[in-house]
Amino acid sequence: MSNLCIIPARGGSKRIPRKNIKDFLGKPIIAYSIETALQSGLFDEVMVSTDDEEIAEVAKDFGAKVPFNRSKKNSDDFATLSDVVEEVKAEYEERKINFEYICLILPTAPLIEQNTLKEAYKLLKETAKDSIRPIVAFSYPIQRALRMNENHDIEMINPENRRKRSQDFEKAYYDAGQFYFMKYSTGLEGVHNIGYEIKESQSQDIDTLEDWHMAELKYKFNHGLL
């Protein structure tokens, strides 16, 4: 099997400026994604897709390749991860290079673990589905979610669930937003997709400084540093 790892890291992050190379417990946060990918031994090539020269240099310092720059079209706020994957595929195909699987790892995924990547990849191959992603179970039944109006009045979104027991609800999950392992042929456009469950302590969405500090705490907890 020949596998490509893509780490998408544009330079225009707004909520946390320069987020993709901001220091996270002693090194740029993108370094964790790069190092985990390289150390997993799953990939023939680990590359960073970026429009930013500083990010490119940091990526190379930690062992990733930056064989070409991301286009302006796919560097704005409206470009999707699928757009990035397809652009990278096209660039490699121009060079007559093809792969069987792609793993897109987010640059702000310091909690990613080698074993998770390996086990998800194994499951993807065994099931022959189009893609796999890590998912996390909601800690509270979403069927009991509330809504609140401008006057702070609250009500249940599904009032028929008011008297149901928690254990009677179907388990619900959310996308951990950490990585997407996929067949090269389908990219992120495949329709037969599966999940690989991970713990809440192994995942953290990072959009605010509060999120950032929570990710640092989880990293320390996971590595016995607390």
Position 111, amino acid: L
Residue 24's H or E segment, with its range, is strand 23-24
The answer to whether the CB of 198 falls within 8 A of the CB of 137 is no
Distance separating the N- and C-terminal Cα atoms of the chain: 39
50 close to 18: Cβ distance less than 8 angstroms: no
Q: What are phi and psi of 11, to 5 degrees?
A: -90, -10
List the catalytic residues: 163
Other C-beta atoms within 10 Å of 27: how many?
A: 15
